[in-house]
Structure 1
């Protein structure tokens, strides 16, 4: 079992939040259908059950949750935010609707008044914030009394075989200095007890956490490209030499060959806090 125990519950380094350069395009093309679309549909379904009128999405990325929320809740006003303007450009192209506004913002210092929203949504973003509890306190601050925060985080990397295989292949390729992005983030924040403690310490009262499994169809070449070049792993690889990114992508593709064209399970935790 590979677990970045030192990283569980600890603040995420700020550099791991860098989604710029070619990363947003590859993230959107390769990783949204592979990893994020099934869980976006799940979050949007849960959000619709609350019938919110004012929604804030933080760490919106390239807008897969934004689009699902806009479609499922056409009467709601949605503000989608992200730290990366490049990611929001992709989000606006995907989820541009009359009821959606986009704003570059830091989840740890939200530029909104207290008690503004009925619902705050965050898909696979909490693990990237340098100060998770501060981000959760900001979510609480901008919620109206009785408002909810709905978010998800990945389960252990061992329960997510596609990323697990890629992480192992890349680590083996650079055995003397293995990149640890996936083990550390985004799969290093999976301990339910730690997550619940962070949410409660931030001021939320009612907290529920459910672990759900989704299936994903693997196209090995696209998955390897997305995981190695559409995430901050790309920067870790680039520091290991001019050919490191291409070599890691090739190794990842070979590792995923047995999954090519097959449906493979993924596992994540869904947190609802009020």
Structure 2
């Protein structure tokens, strides 16, 4: 379905981890994507850019909403995740075009809606990448950005980093940051997007806390940016990190995890 601009699978932050990402659909991606779509309001016949589309959690329902007269360009660097999204979509939504590509280099413009769900932190240059997304929207078009709230997933990143540092070789590796300083609160996110040229920006925090089981604690490592802390480790070392990490989660009596997000909606100025 759709055309695919091939890039090395390693270019994707979640390359090769499609199953781990998909394992979080119910508890994470689907819930967050639903909250975003309630605010982005995809409409019949609209053209939409879904940046960092992952396994299609937001792109597929968006395609349903725009109908066959619309278009959704779902752009994701990981070939394995795009393949999963394509498998899920089948042939029932010709309006969904899936692309293995870097959102920072996506050139088409004129979209009625540009949305990015928990993706801006993946840009090498966060400000330049987000500005590039803003510029993909047509004059008067909507831009919707969802980001992790400050302290989301805490204390899991710190516990994971400590478990990695405790490896026998004493090498250090910290997980990639989940949040962006300029977008770690509703106020900061709204101010930042306004500075990037959007008008009438409204941002809010969508609070959500879920019970944390050992299974979910490890799923959140494997299926989110936390996985970057495991880069370069073989299976034996990953197993050792997992054991230490889960022991710390239990030892610190972490039984609830904060999955709160920030969602901002704004418009590009009319020409």
Q: Structures share a fold, TM > 0.5? A: yes
C-alpha RMSD over aligned residues? 2.9
Match of 2:198 in 1: 204
Match of 1:214 in 2: 208
Please tell me whether the aligned partners of residues 52 and 118 of structure 1 are also in contact (alpha carbons under 8 angstroms): no
The change in CA–CA distance for 1:250 and 1:177 in structure 2 (over 3 A counts) is same
Q: Which runs of 5+ in 1 are unaligned?
A: 1-14
Matches within 5 A, 1:242-253: 243-253=236-246
- Does residue 37 (structure 1) correspond to residue 33 (structure 2)? The answer is no
Shift of 1:26: 1.1
Query: Could you state the TM-score of these two structures normalised by the residue count of structure 1?
Result: 0.76
Query: Could you state the TM-score of these two structures normalised by the residue count of structure 2?
Result: 0.77
Please tell me whether the aligned partners of residues 205 and 273 of structure 1 are also in contact (alpha carbons under 8 angstroms): yes
Shift of 1:104: 2.0
Give the helix-richer structure, 1 or 2.
Answer: 1
- Does residue 28 (structure 1) correspond to residue 22 (structure 2)? The answer is yes
What is the aligned counterpart of 2:14 among 19, 23, 28? 19
The change in CA–CA distance for 1:143 and 1:188 in structure 2 (over 3 A counts) is closer
The change in CA–CA distance for 1:234 and 1:249 in structure 2 (over 3 A counts) is same
The change in CA–CA distance for 1:198 and 1:65 in structure 2 (over 3 A counts) is same
| CA distance in structure 2 between the aligned counterparts of 1:244 and 1:191, rounded to whole angstroms | 32
Deviations 1:8-41 (A, max 9, x none): xxxxxxx9953213x2221112x22232221111
Matches within 5 A, 1:83-98: 83-96=77-90, 97-98=93-94
What is the aligned counterpart of 2:178 among 186, 190, 194? 186
The change in CA–CA distance for 1:17 and 1:99 in structure 2 (over 3 A counts) is closer
Shift of 1:53: 1.1
Please tell me whether the aligned partners of residues 134 and 202 of structure 1 are also in contact (alpha carbons under 8 angstroms): no
Matches within 5 A, 1:52-131: 53-74=46-67, 76-96=70-90, 97-112=93-108, 114-115=109-110, 117-131=111-125
Please tell me whether the aligned partners of residues 210 and 258 of structure 2 are also in contact (alpha carbons under 8 angstroms): yes
Match of 2:7 in 1: none
- Does residue 167 (structure 1) correspond to residue 157 (structure 2)? The answer is yes
Match of 1:8 in 2: none
Shift of 1:252: 3.6
Match of 1:12 in 2: none
Please tell me whether the aligned partners of residues 107 and 136 of structure 2 are also in contact (alpha carbons under 8 angstroms): no
| CA distance in structure 2 between the aligned counterparts of 1:16 and 1:102, rounded to whole angstroms | 16
| CA distance in structure 2 between the aligned counterparts of 1:19 and 1:85, rounded to whole angstroms | 9
Matches within 5 A, 1:217-256: 218-221=212-215, 223-239=216-232, 243-256=236-249
Deviations 1:86-130 (A, max 9, x none): 221112223442321111222222131x32x10001100011111
Secondary structure at 1:55 match in 2: strand
| CA distance in structure 2 between the aligned counterparts of 1:136 and 1:111, rounded to whole angstroms | 13
The change in CA–CA distance for 1:133 and 1:238 in structure 2 (over 3 A counts) is closer
Please tell me whether the aligned partners of residues 177 and 225 of structure 2 are also in contact (alpha carbons under 8 angstroms): no
What is the aligned counterpart of 2:133 among 131, 134, 139? 139
